[in-house]
Amino acid sequence: MKRIDMENWEPDETIPMLRDYFIPPYITLAHLFHAPEGWRKPLGFHKQYQIQYVSHGLAHYVVEDREYLTRKGDLILHRPHEKHHVFTEPGEPYSCISIVFHFGSAPFPVKDLLGERHYFAGLADHPIDELLQEIVSHYHQPGVLRQMECQQQLMRTLAELAKLSRQSEMTPVQLKHKTILLHVKNYIHARFAEDVRLDELEEVSGLSRNYLCHLFRQEFGMLPLQYLTWLRVQRAKDLAIQTKLSVSQIAAEVGYSDVHTFGKMFKKKTGISLSQYCASLYMTTGGE
């Protein structure tokens, strides 16, 4: 086979020759949006892709004449030029993470990965939740490194959405494992403020420790006890934003009797302190 010296081509010339490798997305907006009372977005369309992830309350999305009632943890993906509108309910709050992005002239295969799907439900304790929060946090910090991290997190988000889109193709054995893993995850979720141990999870799942860890990491991208820590971080973030609890009170709520141990854990996992995290969130109200 004749060798093609693409290293000597201009970047734009190489794109038609690439098969499964694409440039990272360009993120043009990433923020946390708080809707005012009675907020509505009139019928229209975007020229770019947009992810809207409900962080609090509820809203109705109508995309290409199909309506979705979205609550905390639900995600809507708009594609360019799709007609849509959004409206809230009287007396109901609504906040969302909004990410706007595009791929330039790169032929990124969004349809191949996600089909025509717009709506993804129940992601409040999924890694996607943390990825989107990190995009918002990093997007408003200066420097090329932070922008690269945002792009990486967005690509991971799209990869996780693609996995969710393909769940209907699972074999009976895979479906059985998924049911077991969801049971384990729910067990951790119900006891995240307690001292959960691996031997407990072995008993809950009926699987050996090593096999459980292998399957759990394959499904959720982290080991069971890593997921426990991740869940504590997410809960701490929610409490910091939505309540007036002190750091020591938040630490106790997520299973840490020592606030200094909690602080070290939070900074190790996020790169910043809890107070710095709250200060880094860029929030807007009104005209989304």
Domain that holds residue 214: 170-280
Q: Using an 8 Å Cβ cutoff, are 31 and 281 in contact?
A: no
Task: For residue 170, count other CB atoms closer than 10 A to its CB.
Answer: 12
pLDDT tens digits, 95-146: 999 998 888 877 788 888 888 889 999 888 788 998 998 899 888 887 888 8
CATH number of the domain bearing residue 54: 2.60.120.280
Residues 215 and 161 in one domain: no
Record the pTM. Answer: 0.66
Domain termination residue (choose one: 167, 186, 215):
167
Q: Which residues, including other chains, have CB under 8 Å from residue 68's CB and lie 6 or more apart?
A: 60, 61, 62, 74, 76, 118, 119
Residues 203 and 94 in one domain: no
pLDDT tens digits, 159-214: 999 988 877 667 788 878 888 998 999 999 999 999 899 999 999 999 999 999 99
Indicate if the pLDDT at residue 217 is higher than 50. yes
The H-or-E segment that residue 104 falls in is: none
Number of domains into which the chain is organized: 2
What's the sign of the alpha-carbon dihedral 146, 240, 100, 51? positive
Residue 81's Cβ-count burial label (10 Å; 0-12, 13-18, 19+) is: exposed
How many whole angstroms separate alpha carbon 242 and alpha carbon 238? Answer: 6
Residues 122 and 52 in one domain: yes
How many whole angstroms separate alpha carbon 146 and alpha carbon 138? Answer: 6
Domain termination residue (choose one: 142, 167, 192):
167
CATH number of the domain bearing residue 242: 1.10.10.60
Domain termination residue (choose one: 124, 144, 167):
167
